[in-house]
Amino acid sequence: MKSIGYAAESAGAELKPFHFNRRDLRPNDVAIEILYSGICHSDLHTVNGDWGEQPYPLIPGHEIVGRVTAIGADVKKYQVGENVAVGCMVDSCQNCDQCEQGDEQFCRNGLTATYGSRDRLSGEVTQGGYSKNIVVREEFVLKVPESLSLETAAPILCAGITTYSPLKAWKVGPGTRVGVIGLGGLGHMAVKLAVAMGAEVTVISRSKDKQENAKAIGATGILCSKDQDEMQKAANSFDFILDTVPVKHDFNTYMPLLDVDGSLVLVGQIGPMEEIMTVPLVFGRRRIAGSLIGGIAETQEVLDFCAQHGIHPECKMINIDQVNQAWGELTKGNPAHRFVIDMSSLSL
């Protein structure tokens, strides 16, 4: 299948139009015309080589909403014309203990990422959602609830599940005191989801510039991490803190904010962090943990949860020829919205 996308030819290179071929449909495949593709901060990290050498040319994008254009002979769940979604992975072994319990993201044999991985059968490089179409194994395609806006649903496939999964795993609910570090693409979704779960949510940020944004989506306000008086007064005031900052930083600052038995969970930075100070851990039985995305069933769950609670990501829509500009803005800061590419202007 002929396709076109925006690819990087090397680490740090601008994205440019790139013609390539998608694989022919296998019996269990779904072909999808991509309508919208969200931009994730991990797209920048991956393509720029921050997490290791990549198989260039590489088309990023793992927040995909589209429409089924063809199905393989064995496909049962989807029909041509149906609105569907694809997230951060497109295959796994399906046989290990993690896959069998619905945690394909922890596949013992390695998940196949939506881009930058090797197809398990052909060995060709997977290419992502900044493109015209995609072919995906049926088990890794998701249904988009009718009440969700197609334009703004895409970020749920990464920003949504990345924050929903730890909130669920740590049993956030009514009465839980939640802190969210950072109010960017991940952070604003964490606030919306935690509020819908019944938690009391406070954003933790270096400034109060986004105070109104935080309150508008349900947070009580912003705790300024640079204000030592505020931070001291807030000691022991959170049961759970979700750290969404996507770059190296000192998380020791936030540990005293946790109450006894509290947990700080990292979902932003993947890589080196500052040295851990153990005093607040030992003297409060506090914990530091990490979380990836969720499995396919849990990703469908968060889509349904967002539909049920009327949760839509804050999005700024762009055309594909504006993608490098959007990447530049992400490099400079962490805006309280997600960029979403309208793929309609991309033609073969």
Q: Which is the CATH superfamily of the domain at 160-290? A: NAD(P)-binding Rossmann-like Domain (3.40.50.720)
Structural domain spans, the chain? 2-158+314-345, 160-290
Do β-strands 258-266 and 287-290 pair in parallel, antiparallel, or remain unpaired?
Answer: parallel
pTM: 0.95
Gyration radius of the chain over CA positions: 20
- What residues form DSSP beta bridges with 306? none
Q: Which CATH architecture has domain 2-158+314-345?
A: Alpha-Beta Complex (3.90)
Are 288 and 269 spatial neighbours (Cβ–Cβ below 8 Å)?
Answer: no
Residue 270: what pLDDT?
84
First CA to last CA across the chain, in angstroms? Answer: 11
pLDDT (tens, 9 = 90+) of the chain, 348 residues, equals 999 999 999 999 999 999 999 999 999 999 999 999 999 989 999 999 988 899 999 999 999 999 999 999 999 999 999 999 999 999 999 999 999 999 999 999 999 999 999 999 999 999 999 999 999 999 999 999 999 999 999 999 999 999 999 999 999 999 999 999 999 999 999 999 999 999 999 999 999 999 999 999 999 999 999 999 999 999 999 999 999 998 889 989 999 999 999 999 999 988 888 888 999 999 999 999 999 999 999 999 999 999 999 999 999 999 999 999 999 999 887 787 899 999 999 988
CB-count burial class (<10 Å; 0-12, 13-18, 19+) for 338: buried
